[in-house]
Amino acid sequence: MSKYTTVIWDLDGTLLYTLTDLMNAVNSALKKYGYPEHDLEFIRKAVGNGVKKLMELSIPDGLSNPDYDRAYEAFNLFYKEHDLDNTKPYDGIASTVEKLREYGVKQAIVSNKIDYAVKRLNDTFFRMECAIGTQDGLRRKPDADMVLKAMEELGADRERTVYVGDSEVDIATAKNAGLPCISVLWGFRSKEELMPYKPQLLAEDTDELLKLVLGE
């Protein structure tokens, strides 16, 4: 029997590499309204709090920019058409998800990404029992709302549930939900960037992650 019976996954930077498609969507919106475009490193540092925050950080003057709402809409229109152009699971992730499934571990995705995109990406790559993104009535991470909803849908045992993510937002989310957190080091934050947030457990690769989840 595995150590944990439920895994709550973050999506971007944990399960999926999504930076290039996010960058292309941001830059398409910025270019449409005549603003400077950004490189991957900028996008890497800006992601983690949802696409509204990503656009706020990307467009000059943020929310006070009169073009913000239209640029955000342009981002969404572009991303809906191109969210699978370059996005793919990290090495070893697909087999990790499958192995956990074979062990009977319940799995869910919770993400600050827009709900339609979270569900589409889950259906495309993972087919987990539950996938929750930003939606009305649920506060975004690091609030615990989405995690608690996923646990309720799965019938999860809190004492045997673990959260897996790649950023400081995920560490805070797990803490707010009262769950242990495994921070993966292949995503959008380096070990050095995570250490000030006092991560509980670190996984360099999917082999280490499996050992932590299964208790091997």
* Domains, the chain, ordered by start: 6-17+89-214 (3.40.50.1000), 19-82 (1.10.150.240)
Q: Cβ distance 122 to 128 under 8 Å?
A: yes
Sequence-separated (6 or more) residues with CB below 8 Å from residue 169: 48, 49, 112, 141, 142
**Residue 37 to residues 2, 30, 31, 119, 189: CA-CA distances in angstroms?**
46, 6, 7, 28, 22
Taking the whole predicted model, whether its pTM rises above 0.75 is answered as yes
Tokens of 144: 């615990």
pLDDT at 214: 96
49 has pLDDT over 90 = no
Q: Cβ distance 185 to 164 under 8 Å?
A: no
Tokens of 104: 């009977």
DSSP state string for 88-153: EEPTTHHHHHHHHHHTT-EEEEEEEEEHHHHHHHHHHHT--SEEEEE-TTSPPTTSSHHHHHHHHH
Q: Kindly indicate the confidence band of residue 32, based on its pLDDT and cuts at 50, 70 and 90.
A: very high
1 has pLDDT over 80 = no
140 has pLDDT over 90 = yes
Q: Rounded to the nearest 10 degrees, how much is the dihedral formed by the CA atoms of 178, 179, 183, 188? A: -60
2 has pLDDT over 80 = no
Burial class (CB in 10 A: 0-12, 13-18, 19+), 186: middle
68-94 mean pLDDT: 96
pLDDT, tens digit (0-9, with 9 covering 90-100), for 141-200: 999 999 999 999 999 999 999 999 999 999 999 999 999 999 999 999 999 999 999 999
